[in-house]
Structure 1
């Protein structure tokens, strides 16, 4: 029995020895961990045109409400509703017989006044000569001169009456005051219209060019002024800022230029009105349409533009970035963003500098302080690809 127990103990000891020997084997020992691989881009300063998208509403550059200047019955409408008209085109014809009669009467009164002058003028001349030799009294001479002056005044009055009658007769043919697109007629032949009536007969609207009234908050306006004053943005004061206008729900972009900025803030909305003028040759924009206007705010001559995947958010919601320092270790930066670009990049205002190596791939595998293996990337056509140039020359 003793020998059996001894044999068992020797066997167990042998197995334990083998296990311990296996644990000490060099083949099972773990070497140092390899650094995580990350993709980085080198942050560079570049020239960037800063734009801002703002809501706006279209407004006709010129619009004329057509009203009669005389009273009368509409005899004929001479235009097609919705058509283009030119300044001077006849739109309506108003019954003209009484205005023709008024002109005839005014012309007759003018003829009478001229006839009286023709009769009284030689008489006044004769009386002047007779008074000079005391053949008649000075009172008779003065009366003849007064009659002559009255005749001349009557002629002037009659001339004015003829002009007025001719103008009123011309008003019986109601003409377009401007070029443009004419709207619906609000009267039909047979309707009575009156002088300077409240309701227009129709409306003419010029559609090319067209105004766009844009609303910008007072806070945005002040930030822009401060950016320009500090030199963060450069502007060209000699040229009107370009504007791109897109109607809501339409795949269409029209070009225009900023015309002026209001000097008052709307007390109800807290916004400043900016007006742009936009070429509208195809009449794509109509007055009253809502649009989005993209305005050039200025030029950032040293903009830092980085891919959006290079910016993360902290637990507090603050934007952060991971960079690789000169020792190939990860460092975290708090950044301030100035906004997104049209090609899905972030414009960084603060927290990064030109030359920084920003991690854009493998961010989830590392944390601040980790050593990393760097793969240099570059952005081409919106995609990140590995650099093929010499790293030394890439900087």
Structure 2
């Protein structure tokens, strides 16, 4: 029994000596630097046509021609439908005949006035002259009315050719040749949609918008001259064009608590179609801040964001103030300073004040840590 106790004592002494001689733990660090970090929001959105118009007849009649093919682009002014024009052509001829008669009446009235003025006092009284002048004014008024009637008849005739007011893609026709249509009917003959450019409506929570406004007012963020956005499609592929903001809503949705902004994108290949859902990355400006990798931070139960830095060879826990994210990092404005060493690897064993040995590492574009000890051994990177 005494022998066993002696072995146990010897083991404890050896273990204690080994622990006392253990080197400090090694942590991977990166050196922080201040930089102009893009301030952006990633929010959902939905594509919508920049212009869309329902085609309706403005005169009544029978459809005689459908002059477009659904899905093929049309230009503004292209004729899509034709209505049987014979009735309206007859109305134009009748209006032109009335106009000719009115012009003749004016000439006759003008001649009567000239005769009355020449014979005034010798064979014509003042009353006769006044009557001739009144007849002339009535004839001129009738002429103006006839001109208006002729113009209206001509407009109705032109409206038998139904054109597209915008450049776009027409949908399927809702009528067939031979169908009777009415002027300004409720049902559209077709719909023309403009797909290039196309708009995307993006929604951001109002609380996030208010936070951004506060950051701008406190000079944490410098707003860009023009606000742009890039899109990720439903397939996960990035959309080829960058869009610019054209308008923002001046109210907050009562159901979602979000505020909408509309961006316009070039869409020559018609990849974006109305109704598609997208994810938008909106670049609002830049923040003069430090980018701290998210993998090196921890969110405390009370919501506080923390990270470890190494100062004078010891681990120090810092509280961070962030204003958003970029790539794989937090945009930090307070809590750390440029030039400090941030611990990004070997964090599990850290405690405040613990002596540590630092090894430089780097993070790739996906936030993965790569050890640089081989570079240190080669003399390309200096170890701390």
Q: What TM-score range do you get, normalising by the shorter chain?
A: 0.7 to 0.9
**What's 1:208 paired with?**
196
Q: Tell me the CA shift for residue 313 of structure 1.
A: 4.7
**44, 53, 75: which one aligns with 1:86:** 75
Q: Tell me the CA shift for residue 38 of structure 1.
A: 2.0
**What's 2:153 paired with?**
165
Q: Tell me the CA shift for residue 292 of structure 1.
A: 1.3
**160, 165, 178: which one aligns with 2:166:** 178
Q: Tell me the CA shift for residue 127 of structure 1.
A: 1.2
SS class of match (1:225): helix
1:353/1:145 Cα in 2 relative to 1: closer, same or farther (>3 Å)? same
Q: Say whether the 8 Å CA contact 1:75–1:93 is kept in structure 2.
A: yes
1:86/1:315 Cα in 2 relative to 1: closer, same or farther (>3 Å)? closer
Q: Say whether the 8 Å CA contact 1:95–1:172 is kept in structure 2.
A: yes
**326, 331, 337: which one aligns with 1:353:** 337
The answer to whether residue 309 in structure 2 is matched with residue 323 in structure 1 is yes
CA distances 1:121-180 after superposition (whole Å, capped 9, x unpaired): 22221111112x242221112112222222222221111111111111111111111111
The answer to whether residue 208 in structure 2 is matched with residue 220 in structure 1 is yes
Q: d(CA) in 1 for partners of 2:148 and 2:155?
A: 11
Q: d(CA) in 1 for partners of 2:258 and 2:349?
A: 46
**90, 100, 106: which one aligns with 1:111:** 100
Q: d(CA) in 2 for partners of 1:315 and 1:88?
A: 64
The correspondence of residues 25-174 of structure 1 with structure 2, limited to 5 A, is 30=17, 32-33=20-21, 34-131=23-120, 133-174=121-162
1:309/1:212 Cα in 2 relative to 1: closer, same or farther (>3 Å)? closer
CA distances 1:237-271 after superposition (whole Å, capped 9, x unpaired): xx321111223234132310111222222233222
Alignment TM-score, normalising by the size of structure 2 = 0.88
Q: 37-46 or 328-337: which moved more?
A: 328-337
Q: d(CA) in 1 for partners of 2:188 and 2:175?
A: 9
Q: Tell me the CA shift for residue 48 of structure 1.
A: 0.8
**What's 2:279 paired with?**
292
1:49/1:29 Cα in 2 relative to 1: closer, same or farther (>3 Å)? closer
Unpaired segments ≥5 residues, structure 1: 1-14
1:366/1:225 Cα in 2 relative to 1: closer, same or farther (>3 Å)? closer
Q: Say whether the 8 Å CA contact 2:296–2:307 is kept in structure 1.
A: yes
**216, 232, 236: which one aligns with 1:246:** 232
The correspondence of residues 1-16 of structure 1 with structure 2, limited to 5 A, is none
Q: d(CA) in 1 for partners of 2:106 and 2:308?
A: 103
1:27/1:306 Cα in 2 relative to 1: closer, same or farther (>3 Å)? closer
1:384/1:123 Cα in 2 relative to 1: closer, same or farther (>3 Å)? same
CA distances 1:198-253 after superposition (whole Å, capped 9, x unpaired): 111111111111111111121111100000010111113xx321111223234132
1:361/1:29 Cα in 2 relative to 1: closer, same or farther (>3 Å)? closer
Q: d(CA) in 2 for partners of 1:58 and 1:208?
A: 12
**What's 2:254 paired with?**
267
**What's 2:317 paired with?**
332
Alignment TM-score, normalising by the size of structure 1 = 0.85
Q: Say whether the 8 Å CA contact 2:169–2:195 is kept in structure 1.
A: yes
Q: d(CA) in 2 for partners of 1:123 and 1:334?
A: 102
Query: Which is higher, the Rg of structure 1 or of structure 2?
Result: 1
Q: Say whether the 8 Å CA contact 1:240–1:259 is kept in structure 2.
A: no
1:27/1:82 Cα in 2 relative to 1: closer, same or farther (>3 Å)? closer
1:153/1:339 Cα in 2 relative to 1: closer, same or farther (>3 Å)? closer
Q: Say whether the 8 Å CA contact 1:217–1:272 is kept in structure 2.
A: yes
Q: Say whether the 8 Å CA contact 1:379–1:385 is kept in structure 2.
A: no
Q: Tell me the CA shift for residue 337 of structure 1.
A: 4.1
